[in-house]
Amino acid sequence: MNRDESTKNRVLLAAGPIFARKGFAQATVREICDAANVNLASINYYFGDKQRLYIETVILAREQRAEQFPFPSWSDETLPEVKLKEFVGLMLRRVVVMQTVPWQVGLLMREILKPTEACQQLVEEYFRPIFERLLRIVDELVDRPLTTLQRTQIGFSIIGQCLHYRFSAGVISMMVEEKRRQEYFDLENLTNHITEFSIAAIRNLHDIEAAQAETTAVSARETDK
């Protein structure tokens, strides 16, 4: 029998999307076996129990995590503004559009929200390189050296704007009028806004810091009285 269509493999492939969608506890072995068109006992026969099936599924997800949206290779002359825009567009494409998110990413995201020890490796191999790449773009956008804290915070501000459209997608949908919902999740609109917002912030940050110190003083005076 072809290995790809073996009972064990069918279970593994069917389990992935279901675990990704519903989580470990909410996914049922009956649902998985139905989807895989195998007998109910197959999971225990091949994997021992549900838990070990889940672990094998996570491992498979890691292995199969194909670089579906690879980073473009930029020439030396590419403007940092262009780089940032493409970076933001890439982030949004990877995480925002729920429908097209492959189940492998969904499963890993699930692990990330509730970090375990296995998550550490994921951070090092997946998130940190992405983040470092972003920070290098930020460096190009400013004309002065930044402290480690500053550039990290700027990075989180940009990432935060992107991820918000995934984590809070449900609430955002409820908050905007249904008629224009598509507009708010439109990839190009989002990319343009987040890019422009962030560039505007980075460019203007230097001037603001000084002014803000004054504002803080005003705020303090108001609190006093």
Partner DNA sequence: CTCTCGATTAAACAGTTGTTTAATACGACT
Partner DNA sequence: AGTCGTATTAAACAACTGTTTAATCGAGAG
Alpha-carbon torsion (117, 119, 124, 125), positive or negative: positive
Distance of CA 183 to the CA centre of its chain: 21
Query: Which of 14, 50, 89, 161 is close enough to bind DNA by CB under 7 A?
Result: 50
195-214 positions binding its own copies, by CB under 8 A: 195-205, 207-209, 211-212
Query: Does 118 sit near DNA (CB under 7 A)?
Result: no
Query: Does 129 sit near its own copies (CB under 8 A)?
Result: no
CB of residue 109 to DNA, shortest distance in Å: 21
Distance set, CA 181 to CA 35, 74, 88, 178 (Å): 33, 34, 20, 5
CB of residue 100 to its own copies, shortest distance in Å: 16
Crossing angle, helix 103-113 and helix 50-64, to 10 degrees? 110
Query: Does 183 sit near its own copies (CB under 8 A)?
Result: yes
Query: Does 192 sit near its own copies (CB under 8 A)?
Result: yes
1-40 positions binding its own copies, by CB under 8 A: 25-26
Tokens of 22: 């519903």
CB of residue 35 to its own copies, shortest distance in Å: 20
DSSP state of 127: I
Please work out the total of residues on this chain that contact DNA, with binding judged by CB under 7 A.
18
What's the N-to-C CA distance of the chain in angstroms? 82
Give dist(CA 104, CA 213) in Å, integer.
Answer: 46
CB of residue 143 to its own copies, shortest distance in Å: 15
Query: Does 165 sit near its own copies (CB under 8 A)?
Result: yes
Give dist(CA 168, CA 157) in Å, integer.
Answer: 16
CB of residue 220 to its own copies, shortest distance in Å: 10
Query: Does 104 sit near its own copies (CB under 8 A)?
Result: no
Which residues in 105-115 are b (16+ Cβ under 10 Å) and which e?
bbbbebeeeee
Please work out the total of residues on this chain that contact its own copies, with binding judged by CB under 8 A.
72
8-47 positions binding DNA, by CB under 7 A: 27-31, 38-45
Q: Which residues bind DNA (CB under 7 A)?
A: 6-7, 27-31, 38-45, 49-51
